[in-house]
Structure 1
Amino acid sequence: MRDYALFAFVIGLVPVILSWPWTGILVWYWVALMVPHSMTWGFMQSFPIAAMLGGASLIGVVIAKDRRPIPGTREIIVLGIFVAHMTLTSFFAVNQAGAWDQWIKVMKILLMTFLVPMLIYGERRILALIFVMTFSIGFYGFKGGLFAIVTGGNYSVLGPVNSFLEGNTFIGLAMIMVLPLILVSARLVYQKWVDVGWPWLQTWSKPIGLMIYASFWLTTVAILVTYSRGALLGLLAVSPFILKRMRRKWLIVSFAILGFSVIGISAPERLVARWETIETYEEDQSAMQRIQAWGANWNMAWERPFIGMGFRHAGKGYGWWSQYVNFEGAWDHVLSAHSIYFQILGQHGFVGFGIFLTLIGMTFSTLGRIRRDAVEMTGKIWLSEYAWAIQVSLVGFMAAGTFLDVGYFDLLYALIALAVILRRELDEADQSAFVPVAGAQPPKPRNPFGASGRYRAHPSRISKPSRRHPLD
């Protein structure tokens, strides 16, 4: 029954996408991140949902009358350079067949990244995309947190089967990346920052906001109970930024102290043992295998610094791989880079690695500008808050990604596309506020914070926030 219900829903989405092409972007990320067919038991597990809905989305882009040109921002330009470089490295890859197969998969992800700014603009569409991406992963955080509490944390929280997020490490990374987005979404709904034209959301804003706050805390629990050391380090990396942004820090800290004191006595032995291996990594085969893989990919990059070894070089087998390792151990050899940094280094050399880091750095810088200027120049607090959330998401990705080879994760490039969109939204909001007069210069933005330092937006620019939630 579940298979038939999903099949009918997917078929019904096709005419919707063709009628309103921008919804195809939302559907694509829903399928890519939530992987709904993984929750079925029959024919839908192998049904080409992504191909069908992706094809409908591409047709929608072609026929869309409201599409906009791809913005020529520095992020888009650098992303284009990265695409060109990955194509070059594929031509010279040591494993040609595997390289081009992976190239096609990565290009599908990046193609959608380029299409997003063409169809997603304006407050409603941007927020709809953010909600879809956030709660496609947040669904597993909510469910995983409840599961962890009910089972006392004795079983690991896992991602959807037969998907990129399968297992504990990848779903842990994904939940870390959406954690700050969940928090900002809870504030947006609870405090009614914007009116997106959905009356039911305005009417039920407080209970819905409280549910999203609950999702935030349940996702935090789920991250811990993935038993992933990478997820733990990622959570530790984003926690100071999230804590700094919260109200009533003393209450949160008090609960944290109480929680840690309890955890020190009654935490599941498996969880504590997993955390302790961070300090004793020399005795853990999994950790040493990662170090071996890092060294191998570093040596590959040194041998071919400009083009690396190309996609899926590990397909050459352990005999080829072993010539680059610094040491060997008595373990099963899973030839994975185990790190976004060494993954890009080994596959695309130092040049590709530099392009990748430049892309991340530029995105982070753009988000910083949006975060600083959005409220002062436009009164749109949601722009500033989501820019902050995406920055923290990138911090979590870079931290947890130290131990995971997820350099081509859909969500990373979706966040880059969101940064481009938010920047355009900020710039266009600035322009709309200024009516040009011959010989006149744009007025200097007033300081909405005044002498008191307390934000005071004009009523026409931002709706009055409701009472803050006591746990925020």
Structure 2
Amino acid sequence: MRDILLALIFAGLVPVILRHAWVGIPTLFWVSLFTPQLQTWTFMHGFPAAMLFTVVTLAAIAFSKDRKPFPWTRETVMLLILAAYFAMTSHFAVNSSGAWDFWVHFMKILLVTFLTPILIHGERRILITLLVITGALAFFGLKGGIFAVNTGGAHMVLGPSGSYLSGNTYIGLAMLMVLPLILTSARLFHRQWVDFSIPLINRFAVPIGWAGYAVFWFTCAAILATHSRGAFVGMVVITPFLFLHMRKKWLLVLVAFIGVGVIGVTAPEPLVERWQTIKTYEEDQSAMQRIQSWGVAWNMAMERPLTGMGFRNTALGYDWWITYAEFEGGWRHVLSPHSIYFGLLGQHGFGGLAVYLFLGAFTFLTLNRVRRTAKRRTGKIWLSEYAWALQVGLAGYFIAGIFLDVAYFNLYYAFIAMSVIMRRELEEAPKPAEATVPTPAQPLPQDTRPSLSNPSLGARSGVERR
């Protein structure tokens, strides 16, 4: 039944995308992050959904006039430079065929990244896309959180088998990145920042918001229960930002005091033992493997500082790889760099790492600008709040990425695309003072929240729907 239902959903989405090309973008994020095809058991399992919807979206764009020009921003320029730089390193790669294969894979990620700001514009589309990205991973947070609570955190929370998020480390990072988005989405509904113009949603907006808060806390538990040290360090870093952004902080402190000081709630022993290895890394084999891999990547970059060794250099095997190591342990493990930064160093040299870091810095600064000015300049609370959420999610990505090889994670590039879109939304939206002033013939409606489907209502409330 699950396979039949998914097949019907996919079949129904195809004509919708052909008619409304922008629907293809949230659909692509849904199938790549949630991977519904891997949640089935028979004929739909492993179905090439991303390929299908990419082709359908490209076909729809060819006949659609409802699109924006390609945005030439510092982020998109850096993405093009990154693609060109990776092409150069693939040309000089030690494993040329494997390098070009992965370069093509990376170009598919960038293709969706470039299509997103062309098709996604205006309040309605931006919010739907953000909610799809959030919901696709919040599902695993809710599911994993319930599992963690039921088992007392004694067992690892894992991602969907067969996907990029399989295992504990990658799903931990993904949930960490969307955790601020879950909180902001809950506030979006609970505080009714926008009018969705759907009576059922408007009627139950507050309960939906409360449910979102519950998913937020379950996701916190799920992140910790992944037993991922990278996700744990990232959680430690972003927690102060989440706490400072919350209201009723005194209530959280009171609950924590009662839970720990009165009831005696403590972290499960398996989690504590796992986290303690951060301090005693010399005694932990996994940690020492990371240090060994970082040394390998550094030495590769020192030998070839501009090009590195290229994508998939580890395919040359352990005997070649170990010649770059500072020491050899009593293990033979997956030859992963275990780090965004060392991975880029080994594969693309200091030049590739520099381009990547500039891209991340530009994205972070753009989101910071939107966060600081959107509410004052446009009156759109949601625009400022989601910029904050993406910014905090990026901080978690860059911190946890010290220990995880996730330089090509499509969620990161989705964040970049959304930052470009939100910057454009900020620049094109009229200031509240420029909004249409109602005349006696145009009285203000009682509900002056910005509408997702009624442009005139948004303009009268001081927030134009774009």
TM-score computed with the length of structure 2 as normaliser: 0.92
**Which amino acid counterpart does residue 119 of structure 2 have in structure 1?**
L
CA spacing shift, 1:338–1:104, aligned 2, 3 Å: same
What residue in structure 2 maps to residue 417 of structure 1?
417
* Partner in structure 2 of residue 448 of structure 1: none
**CA separation in 2, counterparts of 1:38 and 1:258?**
42
- The residue correspondences of 1:90-109 to structure 2 (distance < 5 A) are 90-109=90-109
Q: Which residue of 2 aligns with 1:387?
A: 387
The match for 2:462 is 461
SS of residue matched to 1:323: helix
In the other structure, the counterpart of 2:72 is 72
CA distance in 2, matches of 1:237, 1:246: 16
Shift of 1:104: 1.2
* Counterpart check, 1:19 vs 2:19: yes
Partner of 2:363: 363
Change (3 A) 1:233 1:260: farther
Q: Note the residue ranges of structure 1 that are not aligned, 5 or more in a row.
A: 436-457, 464-472
Q: Deviations over 1:138-177 (max 9, x none)?
A: 0000111111111221211110110000011000000000
Question: C-alpha displacement at 1:94, in angstroms?
Answer: 0.6
Q: Which residue of 2 aligns with 1:178?
A: 178
**How much does 1:199 deviate?**
2.3
Deviations 1:275-312 (A, max 9, x none): 11111110000000001001100111111111111111
Q: Paired residue for 2:276?
A: 276
Instruction: Determine if the alignment matches structure 1 residue 190 to structure 2 residue 190.
Output: yes
Counterpart position of 1:336: 336
Distance 1:263 1:71, change over 3 A: farther
Runs of 4+ with >3 A deviation: 257-267, 430-435
CA distance in 2, matches of 1:130, 1:138: 12
What does residue 2 of structure 2 align with?
2
Kept after mapping to 1: 8 A contact 2:293/2:338: yes
Distance 1:54 1:262 in 2: 54
Contact 2:379 2:432 in 1 (8 A): no
Q: Deviations over 1:188-212 (max 9, x none)?
A: 1111101132222211101111111
> Structure 2 counterpart of 1:164, which letter?
Y
Distance 2:133 2:397 in 1: 15
Is contact 1:310–1:348 with CA below 8 Å preserved after alignment? yes
Q: What secondary structure is seen at the aligned counterpart in 1 of 2:195?
A: coil
Q: Which moved more, 1:112-121 or 1:39-48?
A: 39-48
Residue 403 of structure 1 aligns to a residue whose secondary structure is coil
From the superposition, tell whether residues 265 and 325 of structure 1 become closer, same or farther in structure 2 (CA, over 3 Å): same
Separation of aligned partners in 2, 1:160 and 1:303: 38
Q: CA deviation at 1:316?
A: 0.8
Cα deviation code 1:255-277 (max 9, x no counterpart): 23444458976543211111111
Say whether the 8 Å CA contact 1:193–1:462 is kept in structure 2. Answer: no
Match of residue 406 from structure 2: 406
Match of 1:452 in 2: none
CA contact (8 A) 1:194 1:462 kept: no
Residue 238 of structure 1: how far off its partner (Å): 0.6
* 2:113 corresponds to 1:113: yes
Instruction: Tell me by how many angstroms 1:250 deviates.
Output: 1.9
Inter-CA distance 459–192: structure 2 relative to 1 (3 Å threshold): farther
Q: Distance in 2 between matches of 1:263 and 1:220?
A: 20
1:297-336 alignment runs, 5 A limit: 297-336=297-336
**Cα 1:355/1:260, change in 2 over 3 Å:** farther
CA contact (8 A) 2:295 2:325 kept: yes
Corresponding residue number in structure 2 for 1:248:
248
Distance 1:64 1:99 in 2: 35
Separation in 2, partners of 1:370, 1:266 = 39
Task: Name the SS for the 1:402 alignment partner.
Answer: coil
Q: Does the residue aligned with 2:332 lie in a helix, a strand or coil?
A: coil
SS class of match (1:332): coil
Instruction: Name the structure 2 match of 1:82.
Output: 82
Deviations 1:66-96 (A, max 9, x none): 1111111111111111111011111111111
Aligned to 2:286: 286
CA distance in 2, matches of 1:254, 1:462: 38
1:50: how far off? 1.5
Partner of 1:227: 227
Distance 1:462 1:73 in 2: 25
Q: Distance in 1 between matches of 2:261 and 2:180?
A: 26
State how far apart, in whole Å, the 1-side matches of 2:59 and 2:202 are: 34
User: 1: CA distance between counterparts of 2:34 and 2:64?
Assistant: 26
Change beyond 3 A, Cα 1:462–1:17: closer
Which digits, 9 at most, give the CA deviation of each residue in 1:412-461, with x for residues without a partner? 000000000000000001479659xxxxxxxxxxxxxxxxxxxxxx9822
Equivalent residue pairs, number: 442
Q: Map 1:38-57 to 2 at 5 A.
A: 38-57=38-57
Which residue does the alignment assign to 1:449? none
Contact 1:123 1:196 in 2 (8 A): no
Matched to 2:125, the amino acid is: R
1:378-430 CA-to-partner distances (Å, cap 9, x unmatched) read 11111111111111000000111111100011110000000000000000014
Cα deviation digits, residues 285-344 of structure 1 (max 9, x gap): 000000100110011111111111111111111111111111110123210010011111
Question: Following the alignment from structure 1 to structure 2, what is the Cα–Cα distance between the partners of residues 403 and 262?
Answer: 36
Contact 2:95–2:315, Cα closer than 8 Å, also in 1: yes
Distance 1:259-1:99 versus aligned 2 partners, 3 A rule: farther
**Within 2, Cα distance between the matches of 1:185 and 1:432?**
23
Q: TM-score, normalized by length of structure 1?
A: 0.91
CA distance in 1, matches of 2:394, 2:54: 26
For 1:156 and 1:262, the matched residues in 2 are separated by 28
Deviation at 1:101, TM superposition (A): 1.3
Kept in 2, the 8 Å contact 1:173–1:397? The answer is: yes
Give the stretch that moved more between structures: 8-17 or 134-143.
Answer: 8-17
The amino acid that maps onto 2:403 is F
How far off is 1:220 after superposition? Answer: 0.3
Distance in 2, matches of 1:431 and 1:211, equals: 33
